[in-house]
Amino acid sequence: MTVLNSRGTRYVLVFGLVFSCCGCATTQRDWEDATQQNTVKAYEEFLENHPRSDQASLAKRRLRQLRASLRQLQANEDWRKAESMNTIDGYRDFYDKYTTGPFPPSKQAKEARRRLLRLQEERDWEETKRVGVIAHGAAYQRFIKKYPGSHRVPEAKKKLEELKLVGDWEKTQKADSIRAFEAFLRAYPSSQYSSKAKDRLASLRKERDERERETAEAIQWDLENGKELPALPIKKLDFARNIVIKAPGSVLHYSGARIMAVGEAFARIPSKGKAWHPISKKDFIIIHVRNIGRLDDVIAHTGRRAIPIGHVTDMANLFRGLTLVVPREIIPCELELKGWVSRRIPFKRKQK
């Protein structure tokens, strides 16, 4: 155990006081040097040597201020470069660089983003105009969705409507049918193509009326002068040739859409109720009409009555013709061949 006498104690205290004063003097001198240099390196060295000094907190604050100032100076230089480039990449690089890290965004960051978005919008708009016609409006739709607040949205919508009009007009011309031109004129009654659409519609209607007149005359001649066919049973040969019966069950007796049974055919006579009767020449006229293809239905009109007529189309030869099974008691009548001609055709038999 070491025992210090009073004299030794005084030496130790004096030595400690001298050492402390020397340390304070060194810290103060280093602080004055750092403040005089006022650089990042000077404050970093001071904090490294005197991390717990009274000046440490002030040194840290000044160090942050210096770093922020230097960053802003660099940002000013980089901003001048970005402005001179005036490109998407230039503004994007500046924005990414000065909105990340421990420092707050630079004062130019907000403007960099605004210019970046404006240039991107201009680029996408030019690209949209270039591919708009090819993509049939999809590019304009994408632009509107991506930039809903753009001042170009009204123009984009207008272009989209114009492209839709052009596309619908091309489809209408390709279809080249009465139904297509009628639909087009309903959708676009006052478009730049309306006059052409009306002219072509009138021409198609005239062609249809002339064609239907000739067709109706030919069908009427067959109905009046054609030879009546015998009431033969349905043969296996008919089934093999894929004969299809079209009737809603009120005239011609059948099972399903195709002939499913082999044997005698039956039909109904309107005045005799719902009973089925064998098809015979006494009660029915079986007659063949030439040059008729697939149609939707055959309806006989007599007075206020509309009676479905049994008919058979030979699907093996689409334009071979149509065989009708018509109850004699409803003749004369008018036949409506739905899906083939729009006008009704008088059906009466010449007296032999």
pLDDT tens digits, 30-77: 788 778 877 878 878 888 888 888 878 887 888 788 877 777 778 888
Closest CA to 326 of 340, 341, 313, 312: 312
Residue 300 and residue 139: Cα distance in Å, rounded?
54
Q: Are 295 and 265 in contact (CB under 8 A)?
A: no
Question: How would you label 63-85 residue by residue, b for 16+ Cβ within 10 Å and e otherwise?
Answer: beebeeeebbeebeebbeebeee
pLDDT tens digits, 253-271: 444 344 444 556 677 778 8
Interhelix angle 109-131/138-146, rounded to 10 degrees, is 170
Closest CA to 226 of 345, 80, 87: 345
User: Phi-psi region for residue 136, left (φ > 0), alpha (ψ -120 to 50) or beta?
Assistant: left
List, run by run, the mean pLDDT of 10-residue segments along the chain (352 residues). Answer: 52 46 70 80 82 82 79 82 88 85 75 87 84 67 86 86 88 93 95 95 91 86 84 57 49 45 67 77 84 82 87 63 86 90 85 57
Residue 191 and residue 195: Cα distance in Å, rounded?
8
Residue 45 in tokens: 């060295």
Residue 193 and residue 172: Cα distance in Å, rounded?
11
